[in-house]
Chain A
């Protein structure tokens, strides 16, 4: 719009930290040079987006870096446990049952006389797979359904709300006993499927509530007044602003899924030996916590570190996606 040009100056003022100061124009748009260069994002050379800014931010966040390294390490040993454990997790000697740390076996032995270190390393694969896949499934299904219901309202919303009520009424353990007892396969997938089935309503409720509160904001109305499509409103305006509580709840739930796998395995409907998982080992060790705490300590510690790493990752991502916290 070249005809909109005007020859008088514009005002520039610094924006100190988070507070804002105007470059406001007044009285014929007087030019006011800033005494200091504006801090924060550098010159406006290259257009930036929320995602590129978030990534720029994350790379400099020690919390994110540490959490990512821990998670990368976990993923690596899930794929190649032999990298750091030379033994066989199923190679057990009852004579050594419950024995403590000794050379070559730093974590000691469990109730069956298996090496705790090897089992903890090998258990990562099952536990991390269950935790990550169940969380991803729950978060995706829950936020898509909840987000759509919250955004469109009316009949889909009413239907979804009743449906989640029904799922909330199913007791998790009892549901697991019934549903998983018919499954014969001894892989993680039926367990993950069961967790997604029972877990999505929790996320969907949160996503729905969050979307409803976000969609009332004027910026969504403003985009609508510009003629934006529903997909654009949802993906560009509503979801990025509604996703924070979903990330928080999902990363916390990740730990619950890993322990739920243990509970189900303990009840005999989850995974069975020879599958190795932290859950199985934790439940097997829990009766002996007084006389042989090391049997519980190591797999439980590994679980705690894993959960913590994911929660830290979730927190860092959430903060990076909030420009106000930069």
Chain B
């Protein structure tokens, strides 16, 4: 079974960021022929651990478990509220402690929420470059939801459905992820000696 991890950096409860994340996860599941195991993570609950990991260099057990889950995911939905024209600091900090190899070749669906549609390019100017740096495979459709999208026929549902289809296709195109831990399989020393 493929594993989908859904990250929401929403701050309030209920949160429109979480709402969008859930809709994107549902669309991905609906578009997936095979079974999909979905795990949803609220970064808010890990806020202190994320800051502590930034300061100390190691993650507390609860955060480490989530980092491991993300590093083993076959697909990722990542949704942030827009803050000062970018993703939230907590959202970025999570990926700073995740490490830069964890998402290589992993399909990612990006989403963002904001007060008005004027911020919608946050997806292209902030989120997409972050995941490009991490060498993730970001699906073409990112979904931005402004507050008024939740009460209008603005095509949000269609965008969500298209994005979910794209992510499901990318997950299906890859064999299930096998995570190699160098602590289990070290590079033999003769090889290190060159």
Genuine A/B complex? no
Q: Interface residues, chain A, CB within 8 Å of chain B? A: none
Q: Interface residues, chain B, CB within 8 Å of chain A? A: none
